[in-house]
Amino acid sequence: MNSREIALISTATVFGAVASAIAIRFFFNPKKHFSGIDSSLNGVAERKASSQSPFDPSKRKGYLSWDDYFMAIAFLSAERSKDPNRQVGACLVSENGIILGIGYNGFPRGCSDDKLPWSKKSKTGDPLETKYPYVCHAEVNAILNTNHASAAGQRLYVTMFPCNECAKIIIQSGVSEVIYFVEKRLNNSDTAYIASHKLLSMTGVKVRKHQPQMNQILIKFEEL
C-alpha cells in the first residue's frame, strides 16, 4: 500500500491518527503543487521541531481549527475517488465533534471500478455508457457509512455543494447543518443546485461556506 492509496476506516476512534498522518492536500487549489514552501509561514500545518520553550506552559499555537480539521478529512476522503474528472469527499460529524462517517464519490459496493464507465459523455449518446447512472455521491456515502444510529442533528462537511438528490438524503437523514467548500454550478440556471438550495432552506438545514483559517495543510510522510 502506498501513500496515495490508504484505506480509510469508518471508525471514529482512528480518525484522529489518520487525519494527522496522511497525504498532501491543499485547500485553495487542490490541483496546484507548491515548491519551496517556507514552513514558518502562517497557514502551514507541518510536523516540525517546536520553537516553543520547553518551560512555556501555554498550549501550542497554529493548531487546526475544528472546521479546517473536518474539511481536511473531507478533502482527504476525496483522494480515494476513482473519478478522473471530479473527486468529492464528505465527513459527517456529531454535535460533540466526533466523526461518524466519511464518504467519496464512487460506484456502489461490489461494483467493479474497472467494469463500469467513468466517462462524462458517450460517443453514441447512450447515458449507460457514462458514469452518471452508477455513481454514489460522497454525501450519501458518508451518511450511509455512519457508525452511529442516526445522522439526526449532525453536521456534514463536504468539498462541493450537494446536488438536489443529495439534499433530499441530507434532509431525510436529519442532518442539521451543511458546511461546503466550493459550489460549482455549470451556470446560474443549473436546476439541480437551485433545487438543492431551495430544499435545504425550506427544511431549515443550515448551510454555510467553509472559510479556511489556513491556506494549506501539508504533511510529508518522510517527516513524521
CATH number of this structure's domain 12-223: 3.40.140.10
Average pLDDT over residues 143-169: 91
d(CA 129, CA 131): 7
pLDDT of residue 70 exceeding 60:
yes
DSSP classification of residue 44: E
Buried b (16+ CB within 10 A) or exposed e, 33-69: eeeeeeeeeeebbeeeeeeeeeeeeeeeeeebeebbb
Instruction: Report residue 96 as a C-alpha cell.
Output: 460533540
> pTM above the 0.95 mark?
no
Beta-bridge mates of residue 136: 106
Report residue 158 CA to chain centroid gap: 5
> Of the given ranges (7-11, 93-97, 98-102), which has the lowest mean pLDDT?
7-11
CA distances from 45 to 22, 114, 218 (A): 12, 36, 6
Average pLDDT over residues 55-74: 91
Average pLDDT over residues 81-92: 96
pLDDT at 40: 40
More confident residue, 94 or 186: 94
Q: Are the C-beta atoms of 209 and 185 separated by less than 8 Å? A: no
79 assigned to active site = no
Beta-bridge mates of residue 92: 101, 156
pLDDT of residue 138 exceeding 80:
yes
Average pLDDT over residues 140-148: 90
Confidence band (pLDDT; 50, 70, 90) for 73?
A: very high
What does the pLDDT look like over 108-123, one tens digit per residue? 999 999 999 999 999 9
d(CA 157, CA 160): 9
d(CA 186, CA 69): 29
Three-class SS state of 171: helix
Average pLDDT over residues 45-62: 74
Instruction: Write down the catalytic residue from 139, 177, 183, 222.
Output: 139
pLDDT at 23: 33
- Average pLDDT, rounded, for the chain: 80
Instruction: Report residue 52 as a C-alpha cell.
Output: 516553543
What percent of the chain has pLDDT above 70? 75
The CB density around residue 108, as the number of other CB atoms within 10 Å, is: 10
pLDDT of residue 32 exceeding 50:
no
pLDDT at 54: 84
pLDDT at 153: 87
pLDDT at 6: 34
What does the pLDDT look like over 177-214, one tens digit per residue? 999 999 987 666 689 999 999 999 999 999 999 999 98
pLDDT at 187: 67
Positive/negative CA dihedral, 27, 189, 198, 142: negative
Average pLDDT over residues 44-67: 76
Q: Are the C-beta atoms of 104 and 90 separated by less than 8 Å? A: yes
d(CA 170, CA 139): 8
Q: What angle do CA 142, 194, 189 make, to 5 degrees?
A: 130
Q: Which residues contact 39 (CB under 8 A, 6 or more apart)?
A: 46, 48, 218
Helix (H) or strand (E) holding 158: strand 155-160
